[in-house]
Structure 1
Amino acid sequence: MRSKVEESFTDFFEKWMAQLEECAQLLLIAAENEKDHEFLVNKLTTHYKNYYTAKWAAAREDVLAFFAPVWLTSLESAYLWVTGWKPSTAFRLVAGEGMSEEQMKKVEVLRGKIKAEEEKVEREMERQQVAMADRRMVELARLGGGDTVADVAVKNMLGGLEKVMKMADCVRLKTLKGLLDVMGPTHSIHFLASASMLQIQMRKCGKTQHNLSLITNSS
């Protein structure tokens, strides 16, 4: 049975993805016509910010939902990195054609900074995992303890997971902002269109795969 947060965020995510597809179509048109670039870049970045605002609000109630998201397909879940997309993958979508040597150097500098930030997040995630396997936590689980002791332990664990999730999300947002700051409006449009379509197509493929599995299992 799904929790209240899982139900509400599933509804939110479906609507958010539908809006993302609408934005992606506008980006593809703009890439051909070279019009409204700045407006559309702002529109899509606002759309992404709205996602993280909703995510963080929901995570305050149920952070575990984001480490095993029921609103994603198995294919989407397979590529998750600390509840979302891995920031360094965004650099693969950057088209170098038409960019100046100075811009490319800035992209490489940013890539190095983001890689270091990813490693920091991974170390923090590892620290949280080690804390969960701490001897005192294991003893608490094995022997049981007073409700107050157990509540504090669980609260600390969930707080740690929320912290690492937000760290990862901040790196994702920093990656987007950093790349868009380096690229001009035209390159930004192509980059955002590619990133959006990748997310949309992955979801569609995941749903198709899920439906085929249901048909196969029922036959």
Structure 2
Amino acid sequence: MLSPTWTSSLEDAFLWIGGWRPSMAFHLLYSKSGLQFEARLQELVQGLRTHDLGDLSASQISQLDEMQKRVILEERQITDLMAGHQETVADASMVELSHVASEMIRANERGEVEESKEFEDKVESTLVQKEEGLEKILQKADELRLGTLKAIVNVLTPKQAIHFLIAAAELHLRLHEWGKKIDARKENHGTGEGKNYNSSI
């Protein structure tokens, strides 16, 4: 759910609740803007418009700055939700189920008791609630990712939006390729640290 089977170990390390961190979109935008600004500096000095991300107006920068602050705040709120939900794995109900399950295993080994269907149903019901909680948080994270992307594109001109989306796609693809190479190298060296891609085939 939170770690897609097709991602590399490197990508997994940078995941935020099942995907890219929304605030990263602004870092990408400003990084690409700086690179394009430097590349077209002479044209900009001459007063020529480049119409790329190096040509952001003061109004656009102001809007993006305010947007970034809001996104970071929402991001933190969702992160706190996830932290709180993760802590429920050690709540009273889970600890009790763990204790009962351990006692049943020991009793089974002694041949004193058989597995209880009622208990298994209770475990499944409890875990389903945990999973549903994760799904709700993942949905909030996905909504923030999509909303951030749309909001940034709305501030940019059509040409700037194209530059931004291409840069995002290129970064995603390069990170995926580099990560797969690292995983393959680790597998070839027998470290066993690379991600198992068989499950995604």
By the TM > 0.5 criterion, same fold?
yes
Distance 1:142 1:91, change over 3 A: same
Higher radius of gyration, 1 or 2: 2
Which of residues 129, 147, 150 in structure 1 aligns to 2:123?
150
Distance 1:215 1:147, change over 3 A: closer
| Off by >6 Å, runs of 4+ in structure 1 | none
CA–CA separation in structure 2 for the residues paired with 1:149 and 1:163: 22
Which has the larger helix fraction?
1
- Counterpart mapping for 1:105-184 below 5 A: 105-144=62-101, 146-184=119-157
Q: TM-score normalized by structure 1?
A: 0.66
Match in the other structure for 1:71: 6
Match in the other structure for 1:211: 184
Is 1:200 paired with 2:157? no
CA–CA separation in structure 2 for the residues paired with 1:76 and 1:83: 11
Listed as ranges, the gaps of 5+ residues in structure 2 are: 34-52, 102-117, 192-201
- Between the aligned residues of both structures, percent identity stands at 31
Match in the other structure for 2:23: 88
Task: Give 3-state SS (helix, strand or coil) of 2:54's partner.
Answer: coil
Task: Give 3-state SS (helix, strand or coil) of 1:69's partner.
Answer: coil
Task: Give 3-state SS (helix, strand or coil) of 1:109's partner.
Answer: helix
Listed as ranges, the gaps of 5+ residues in structure 1 are: 1-65
Alpha-carbon shift at residue 148 of structure 1 (Å): 3.4
Match in the other structure for 2:46: none
Paired positions, count: 153
Alpha-carbon shift at residue 68 of structure 1 (Å): 3.3
Task: Give 3-state SS (helix, strand or coil) of 1:132's partner.
Answer: helix
Which residue identity lines up with residue 14 of structure 2 in the other structure? Answer: Y
Match in the other structure for 1:98: 55
